[in-house]
Amino acid sequence: MANIQAIRGMHDILPDQTPLWQYAEKTIRDVLGNYGYSEIRLPVVEKTELFKRSIGEVTDIVEKEMYTFDDRNGDSLTLRPEGTAGCLRACLEHGLLHNQVHRLWYYGAMYRHERPQKGRYRQFFQIGVETYGMASADIDAELLFLTDRLWKRLGIRDKVRLQLNSLGTIAERLIYRDALVNYFEQHLDALDEDSLRRLKSNPLRILDTKNPAMIDVVKHAPELMDYLGDDSRQHFQTILDSLMDSGVSYEINTRLVRGLDYYSKTVFEWVTDELGSQGTICAGGRYDGLIEQLGGKANSAIGFAMGMERLLLLLETLDLKIENSVDVYLIRVGENAEKVGLRLAEQLRTDIPTLKLQVDCAGGSIKSQFKKADKSGAKFALILGEEEVAHGEIGIKSLRDAQFEQQTLVMSDVVNFLHINICA
Ligand code: ATP
Ligand code: MG
């Protein structure tokens, strides 16, 4: 019988990959902490209606990417394709939006039925950030500072670029939409099938096309920037000034419209040229209208989501040496040594709570145990044979420093030795 395999597009993260993930996750948590953001934990499954109402019916996600199923009572449920809707649902449900300001983040798996390829999977991890109750452009700037700081701390600032645009208010966008439809209607021959469909349902999405044959027609389309009112213009300019002021470089990309319906004013993406067409590692924007759309009182909201797999692909290009290693590896040879060694290891972990100590529990010759000790990344091997046990002693060998002579210590001196040589 053939072995059962994982679902296409859903990947295991194996033990040799997790240290880099943990490093990235910790760095992100640290930076979020620097700005006073709090974690929120949300369900992986929500009512299908939530995503239809928030993301919008005419979007790639709702039209063709959702994992939707009926549960046993016949309710339609969906594995979350993104976190914004669920986060807002939770905050409305628990009354967190009433006269309050929030800076939140969440982390977890998202699900979209897309064609799997490098940087695009059916299960992928996102770090999402959502803020509520702040209308000022300072919070828009803060999110950009925060992400800029994160790239610097991870050492990838020179691999990413910030692209910004303003989508204006919903009213401004409606006027622009008419102008855009008018323009495309005069160039129907140049539109592909997807775009012809979107012309009726969501014409702004045509600007987002990845079809090279349409570059020209899109390039000459009217620009939303020319349709913004004073308030939207001022909001955008304030962000640009703050970025200039702090030396964060950016590019204005007037074609950046984002896939989702709910954005207004600021939208942004951090993009890289190193991952082929899956070049967006972080994307977000302001979505002031969504809270009302989900039944809450009008309120401000802005956030972003970062794709962890794409971030990890970028980090892998740095060749960082981040491995899961231990400090000490205990080699035991002989029945008495096994018994005494197991007890000793427990005692050492009690005496030195930060110690990372691995005991060889698979046995084998001393040579094969040394091989495993070396692979464990440990600095020192402790060696316990029948002779050492008989004398109440233990051998110590450095696995990294050839100058260090192998020693034999009285068992009671081991704690002291490790304190000085490992935990100091
Ligand atoms: P794309 O244009 O690449 O499809 P998107 O606009 O659908 O992206 P968002 O919904 O804004 O993406 O999600 C935010 C981030 O999550 C993306 O910038 C990307 O880094 C990551 N992401 C989105 N979809 C996937 C996926 N299928 N696999 C891996 N990462 C993804
Ligand atoms: Mg997508």
Take atom 26 of ligand 1 and give the residue whose Cα is closest. 120
The number of the ligand nearest the C-alpha atom of 307 reads 1
Give the CA dihedral 218, 224, 225, 228, nearest 10 degrees. 170
Counting from 1 in the atom list of ligand 1, the atom nearest the Cα of 310 is 20
CA of 125 to the centre of ligand 1 (A): 10
Structure-token match 């002021």, residue found: 245
Rounded to 10°, the helix 84-93/48-55 angle is 110
Q: Which atom of ligand 1 is nearest to the CA of 126?
A: 16
Task: For ligand 1, atom 28, name the residue with the nearest CA.
Answer: 120
| CA-closest residue to ligand 1 atom 8 | 280
Q: Which amino acid is at 14?
A: L
Can you tell me which atom of ligand 1 is nearest the CA of 61?
7
pTM of the model: 0.92
Nearest CA to ligand 1 atom 25: 120
Ligand nearest to the CA of 287: 1
- If one residue of 61, 124, 281, 282 were mutated to test the ligand 1 pocket, choosing by the most ligand atoms within 8 A of its CB, it would be 124
Q: From edge to edge, which strands make up the β-sheet containing 264-272?
A: 38-39, 102-111, 123-132, 301-307, 280-286, 264-272, 160-166, 251-252
Atom of ligand 1 nearest to the CA of 121: 28
Which residues are within 8 A (CB) of 185 and not within 5 positions of it... i.e. 6 or more apart? 199
405: Cβ contacts below 8 Å, ≥ 6 apart: none
Task: Answer whether 313 contacts ligand 1 (Cβ < 6 A).
Answer: no
| Residue 60 CA, closest ligand 1 atom number | 7
pLDDT of the chain along its 424 residues, tens only? 889 999 999 999 999 999 999 999 999 999 999 999 999 999 999 999 999 999 888 788 998 999 999 999 999 999 999 999 999 999 999 999 988 999 999 999 999 999 999 999 999 999 999 999 999 999 999 999 999 999 999 999 999 999 999 999 888 988 999 999 999 999 999 999 989 998 988 898 898 888 899 989 999 999 999 999 999 999 999 999 999 999 999 999 988 887 666 788 999 999 999 999 899 999 999 998 899 888 999 899 999 999 999 999 999 999 898 988 999 999 999 999 999 999 999 999 999 999 999 999 998 999 999 999 999 999 999 999 999 999 999 999 999 998 988 999 999 999 999 999 887 6
Tokens of residue 334, six digits? 């002989």
Strands 407-410 and 393-398: antiparallel
Question: Could you tell me if the CB of 270 is within 6 A of ligand 1?
Answer: no
Residue type, 306: M
Q: How far, in Å, from the CA of 275 to the mean position of ligand 1? A: 13
Give me ligand 2 centre to Cα 169, in Å: 23
Q: Is the CB of 256 under 6 A from ligand 1?
A: no
